[in-house]
């Protein structure tokens, strides 16, 4: 039985991944901070999903997660560094602490998890998966810290993949497009409060379950990259070819969002 450690498994993509892998016969160490969520997930898959409460910003907690996976299941084949948070505010308005918080979780949290798991995963010729974003290939307005954290993650994963060349370890950079989850509800405002609601029509977005299924297929094929949604793939591709032209397109797209911070900037309300 293969074993995966998934960070950020209490909701959204991480929870869907935990369920998907358990249904595919894997054992899963499911990590996040919300114990009640993890426990009800684990109860649905007895013997398959083990809850682990821990914060990815703490390297010790990540080290302990690996030990817990080894104690419980005897091995660790894959780490899926998925825990992430977002924010919505303009560069001029956002508190530096918000940008730092986003980096602590999205970049440093992934680094802590991947470094803790690396010796075990390498011994198993297993998988290192970083859940990045289309925003890691194309910076998005009012998400500067989020975009930067995902660009940083992409660079880290590319460097690591090259270091692990020839070892048989698969390093997968997974970039979902807009996916139905709690991420926008939990996104931080300029001052660090929770946004509380999503500006997107969540029901029309790709489901976390579909993302999980695609990501698992990419793992089995030992892919290096996975970019999801047609809009996401088009964005990455167009940005490589016509980055300047895409500025206007992306600007207009995000200007149309409800209560877009770009709108107040455009009308000089700041
Ligand atoms: N949804 C999208 O549109 C989208 C698009 C592209 C990429 N992504 C990426 O997909 C990943 C998952 O996001 P999601 O959309 O599924 O959002 P979500 O539903 O908000 O899930 C985020 C998960 O991260 C966990 N988390 C947050 N801070 C943590 C911390 N300090 N330590 C441990 N766990 C922490 C949360 O659990 P607790 O609060 O219980 O700790 C939760 O389980 C993120 O990396 C995100 O950037 C999402």
Query: pLDDT by residue (tens digit) across 120-176?
Result: 999 999 999 999 999 999 999 999 999 999 999 999 999 999 999 999 999 999 999
Residue pair 67/167 in contact by the 8 Å Cβ criterion:
no
What does the pLDDT average to over 212-236? 98
Q: Are 178 and 201 in contact (CB under 8 A)?
A: no
**Predicted local distance difference test score (pLDDT) of residue 169:** 98
pLDDT digits (tens, 9 = 90+) for 10-26: 999 999 999 999 999 99
**pLDDT at res. 264:** 77
Instruction: Say which residues have a Cβ less than 8 Å from residue 40's Cβ, sequence separation at least 6.
Output: none
CB atoms within 10 A of CB 3: 22
Q: Is there an atom of ligand 1 within 6 Å of 154 CB?
A: no
Atom of ligand 1 nearest to the CA of 180: 1
Is 261 inside a domain boundary? no
pLDDT tens by residue, 54-69:
999 999 999 999 999 9
Q: Which residue has the tokens 């948070």?
A: 85
**101 assigned to some structural domain:** yes
Catalytic-labelled residue, pool 146, 165, 225, 251 = 146
Q: Could you tell me if the CB of 85 is within 6 A of ligand 1?
A: yes
253 part of a folded domain: no
Contact 34 CB / ligand 1 (< 6 Å): yes
For residues 25 and 40, give the distance between their C-alpha atoms in angstroms, rounded to a whole number. 19
13 lines ligand 1 (CB under 6 A): yes
The verdict on residue 146 lying in a domain is yes
pLDDT at position 91 over 70 = yes
Would residue 222 count as lying in a domain?
Answer: yes
Which DSSP string corresponds to 117-181? HHHHHHHHT-EEEEE--GGGTS--TT-HHHHHHHHHHHHHHHHHHHHTTTS--EEEEEE--SBSS
pLDDT band at 77 (very low <50, low <70, confident <90, very high): very high
What is the strand order of the sheet 27-32 is part of? 49-53, 27-32, 3-7, 78-81, 127-131, 170-175, 225-227
pLDDT of res. 249: 95
Atom of ligand 1 nearest to the CA of 81: 45
203-221 per-position pLDDT tens digit: 899 999 999 999 999 999 9
CATH code at 179? Answer: 3.40.50.720
Q: What is the DSSP string of 15-76?
A: HHHHHHHHHTT-EEEEEES-HHHHHHHHHHSTTTEEEEE--TT-HHHHHHHHHHHHHHHS--
Mutate to test the pocket of ligand 1, among 5, 6, 8, 133 (most ligand atoms within 8 A of CB): 8
Residue 183 is assigned to a structural domain of this protein: yes
Q: How many domains does the chain have?
A: 1
Using most ligand atoms within 8 A of CB, pick from 53, 54, 86, 181 the residue to mutate for ligand 1: 181
110 within 8 A of 153, measured Cβ to Cβ: yes
Q: Is 131 in the pocket of ligand 1 (CB under 6 A)?
A: yes
Q: Does 25 map to a domain?
A: yes
What's the CA gap between 161 and 224, in Å, rounded? 8
> Is the model's pLDDT at 269 over the cut of 80?
no
Q: What is the DSSP letter of 204?
A: G
Active-site residue, 216 included: no
Does any ligand 1 atom lie closer than 6 A to the CB of residue 136? no
pLDDT value at position 86?
97
Please give the angle made by the CA atoms of 107, 10 and 133, to the nearest 5 degrees.
35
pLDDT score, position 268: 66
- Give domain status of residue 75, yes or no: yes
Query: Range of 68's domain?
Result: 3-242
Q: What is the pLDDT of residue 4?
A: 98
């Amino acid at each position: 039985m293969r074993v995966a450690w998934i960070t950020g498994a209490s909701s959204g993509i991480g929870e869907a991944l935990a369920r998907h892998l358990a249904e595919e016969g894997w054992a899963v160490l499911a990590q996040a901070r919300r114990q009640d969520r993890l426990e009800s997930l684990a109860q649905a898959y007895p013997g398959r999903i083990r809850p682990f409460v821990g914060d990815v910003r703490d390297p010790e907690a990540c080290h302990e997660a690996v030990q817990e996976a080894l104690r419980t299941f005897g091995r660790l084949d894959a780490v899926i560094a998925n825990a992430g948070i977002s924010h919505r505010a303009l560069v001029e308005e956002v508190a530096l602490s918000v940008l730092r918080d986003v980096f602590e979780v999205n970049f440093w949290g992934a680094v802590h998890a991947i470094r803790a798991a690396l010796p075990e995963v390498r011994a198993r010729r297993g998988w290192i998966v970083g859940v990045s974003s289309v925003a890691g290939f194309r910076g998005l307005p009012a998400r500067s810290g989020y975009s930067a954290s995902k660009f940083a993650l992409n660079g880290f994963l590319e460097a690591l993949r090259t270091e692990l060349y020839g070892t048989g370890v698969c390093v997968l950079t997974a970039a979902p497009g807009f996916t139905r989850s709690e991420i926008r509800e939990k996104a931080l405002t300029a001052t660090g409060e929770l946004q509380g609601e999503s500006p997107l029509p969540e029901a029309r977005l790709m489901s976390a379950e579909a993302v999980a299924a695609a990501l698992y297929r990419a793992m089995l094929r030992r892919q290096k990259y996975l970019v999801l949604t047609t809009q996401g793939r088009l964005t990455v591709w167009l940005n490589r070819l016509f980055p300047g032209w895409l500025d206007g397109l992306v600007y207009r797209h995000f200007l149309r969002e409800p209560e877009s911070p770009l709108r107040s900037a455009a009308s000089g309300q700041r």
